[in-house]
Amino acid sequence: MDNRPIGFFDSGLGGLTSIPNLFQKLPNERVIYFGDTARTPYGSKAVSTIRQYSMQIADFLVSKDVKMIVIACNTISATCLDELRDKFPDIPILGIISPAARKVAKVCTQENNIGIIATKVTTQSGAYRERIRDFNEELNVFDMATPAFVPLIEEGIIENEIMDLTIRYYMDDFIKNNKIDTLVLGCTHYPIIRKNIEKIYPGLNIINPSYEIINRVRQILENDDALADANNDRENVFYASDLSENFSNMIQKVLETEESNLILKFKNLDL
């Protein structure tokens, strides 16, 4: 048994999409979340910069005595996982890509054509292609960067014609030309537009890495005998490097609660 919190981090708000599933599956667990809202987005930055920022955040989470670190960001998982594990060998560190790739490899698809939509950095890294083929060589994997989704989502332009047109702009040809039948939402913001995608492309099999990673969290905690117990009286704390209105709007939307129920704290890692 271990009642210490789990550290989650993301370049900004997107990693919050993993949290509802954690609270549902593992209600005794507590979270320290760090969103680098001052320096987001990471998805079009140089890999060396993303590494430097990620190391700072992991240092901060370790200083908070977390029992595990979850990289709730595809871009960071695609580029920094090995370096983070090398720097912090004593703490389990989970990336978001392998659990999703494992799930993809298990699903039977009619055409064996898998589409990945993600940031530019994730797409360029080839991490999804490699991981999926590690698990199943038969699958054809196509990826595409869809960078306009994140700023629209952060502005709350979601249940809206502009979002639907942007989805069609990127995805109509991608889905049709490659006969995609399974789509991976390879950026943590994208579960927020899942309903739009399902409405436009009904029948598409959708994989959500933010959801899949929680199954892996549970496995590791069970194996390490590190699940929290029902008497866990610690609190969930959400840090951001910029406590903006967008952050507070998005956290209330994703966690479906009022701001007064949340502990939101500012933390500037540059200081």
Question: Counting every residue, how long is the chain?
Answer: 271
**Of 73, 100, 150, 250, which residue is the catalytic one?**
73
**For this structure, is 187 an active site residue?**
yes
Quick one: 174 exposed, middle or buried, by C-beta within 10 A (0-12, 13-18, 19+)?
Answer: middle
Binding site for ligand DGL (CB under 6 A): 10-12, 14, 40-43, 73-75, 119, 122, 150, 187-189
Task: Give the nearer residue to ligand DGL in terms of CB position, either 54 or 122.
Answer: 122
How far is Cα 192 from Cα 249, in angstroms, rounded to an integer? 13
Find, among 180, 31, 17, the residue nearest to 96 by Cα: 17
**Of 6, 121, 187, 197, which residue is the catalytic one?**
187
Q: How far is the CB of 81 from ligand DGL (least distance, A)?
A: 13
**For this structure, is 80 an active site residue?**
no
Query: What sign for the dihedral angle of Cα 84, 251, 5, 56?
Result: positive
Three-class secondary structure of residue 69 per DSSP: strand
Task: Give the nearer residue to ligand DGL in terms of CB position, either 17 or 236.
Answer: 17
Q: How far is the CB of 241 from ligand DGL (least distance, A)?
A: 12
Residue type for position 270? D
- Residue, CB closest to ligand DGL: 43
Q: How far is the CB of 43 from ligand DGL (least distance, A)?
A: 3
Q: How far is the CB of 11 from ligand DGL (least distance, A)?
A: 3
**Backbone phi and psi for residue 19, each to the nearest 5 degrees, phi listed first:** -70, -45
Task: Give the nearer residue to ligand DGL in terms of CB position, either 53 or 228.
Answer: 53
Task: Give the nearer residue to ligand DGL in terms of CB position, either 5 or 209.
Answer: 209
175, 115 Cβ separation under 8 angstroms = yes
Which residues form the catalytic set? 73, 187
